[in-house]
Amino acid sequence: MSSHLRNRLEAGLNTLDVSLPDDTIECLVAYIQLFDKWNKTYNLSAVRDIDAMVSRHLLDSLAILPFVEGQRLIDVGTGGGLPGIPMAICHPEREIHLLDSNGKKTRFLFQVKTLLKLDNVQVHNCRVESFQPEDKFDGVMSRAFASLEDMTQGCHHLLKENGRFWAMKGIYPTDELKPLEKHYIVANSHALTIPGEEGERHVLEIRPR
């Protein structure tokens, strides 16, 4: 099974033009196998097929690697660790924080951190509005928020002065940008093509004015 998943992941990475070391690929495969195992009990995702998980979860998260910057990042509403765990695996030099209010999901994340020896990961089981970090973050990542307004309003207290939001969306969210115009600027946006997935995907880099 692991060789099949590795081949599927490597083919997707080639399509994305993302090159990763062998040990990183092995760690990503180990993560998605853990995700699949725990998903049967903890309902981490509606996706039940592990092949589909490689595309919809791993490759979708890895597609943003070339665009996200900063040494200290937080993934808000991370669920089963997406995109934060793949980011942490691929960038061990970065400090990655994972925040979710669901205790079952954060228990899974603690298990992943321990089993995969991800010393650069910190897990927080709380609501975003009650999370008050001592040090703020270079970037807030998420693919969980229903709207960009929810993301910016809910997480603005987490950002450093020159920090960025990295919002993962489906179709380009034109209607969601209007409420942000007074306080935020879309610094960059990138259309993503996810191998094995149909439909539009975008990542938006948003910064305060």
**Is residue 82 part of an annotated ligand binding site?**
yes
Distances (CA, A) of 173 to 56, 116, 124, 179: 20, 35, 29, 12
The verdict on whether residue 143 carries a ligand-binding annotation is yes
> Could you give the CA distance from residue 8 to residue 37 in angstroms, rounded to a whole number?
18
Which tokens sit at 124? 């927080």
Please check if 128 is assigned to a binding site: yes
3-state secondary structure 84-146: HHHHHHHCCCCEEEEEECCHHHHHHHHHHHHHCCCCCEEEEECCHHHCCCCCCEEEEEECCCC
**Is there a binding annotation on residue 77?**
yes
State the Cα–Cα distance between residues 39 and 43, nearest whole angstrom: 5
The reply to whether 48 sits in an annotated binding site is: no
H/E element, 207: strand 201-208
Q: Is the Cα dihedral 84, 86, 87, 92 positive or negative? A: positive
Question: For 81, left (φ over 0), alpha (ψ -120 to 50), or beta?
Answer: left
> Residue positions in the annotated binding site?
77, 82, 128-129, 143
> Residue positions in the annotated binding site for S-adenosyl-L-methionine?
77, 82, 128-129, 143
